[in-house]
Amino acid sequence: MRQIVHRGVQVMALFEKAKEAFEKIFEKAKASLPELSSWNKVYQFVVEDTGEEFYVEISNGQIKVVQGKHPKPIATIVASSDVLEKIISGQLDAMAAFMKRQMKITGNVLDTMNLKKLLDAGLKG
């Protein structure tokens, strides 16, 4: 796994964890969310404390998690690495993080409810 240095400390890149988690979540959610096959959505993530950027693209029944910045995401989600790790592992509800201002969303905030639906379905059980 790629290591990055932040404030003099080496940390595992959140991207690697996010990629693995989102791929597992997507596979598990496909059974209960048939509408995933018709989605054409991109969500940008910015990790406040490390400066990492990655995006989750869902299209043609597939998911891609890509490092970098997408030119036209539906929404951009900004949070610390700790908050994002807790969300993708199911330890923290995304809506709760947003309401507690632990996460900021710009762009189409309402469409991020689809992302929450994906997380909820993929993290069940």
pLDDT at 3: 53
CATH number, position 58: 3.30.1050.10
Round to whole Å and give the CA distance between 19 and 6: 20
List, for the chain, all residue ranges whose pLDDT scores fall below the cut of 50. Answer: 1-2, 8-11
pLDDT at 10: 42
Domain span at residue 33 reads 3-123
Q: Which helix (H) or strand (E) holds 97?
A: helix 94-99
Q: In this predicted model, what pLDDT tens digit does every residue of 4-14 receive, in sequence order?
A: 555 544 445 78
Total number of domains constituting the chain = 1
**Residue 74's closest CA among 113, 118, 116, 107?**
107
pLDDT at 124: 85
The amino acid present at 32, given as its one-letter code, is: S
Q: Name the pTM for this structure.
A: 0.88
Round to whole Å and give the CA distance between 107 and 86: 23
First to last CA, the chain: 28
The tokens of 89 are what? 């592992």
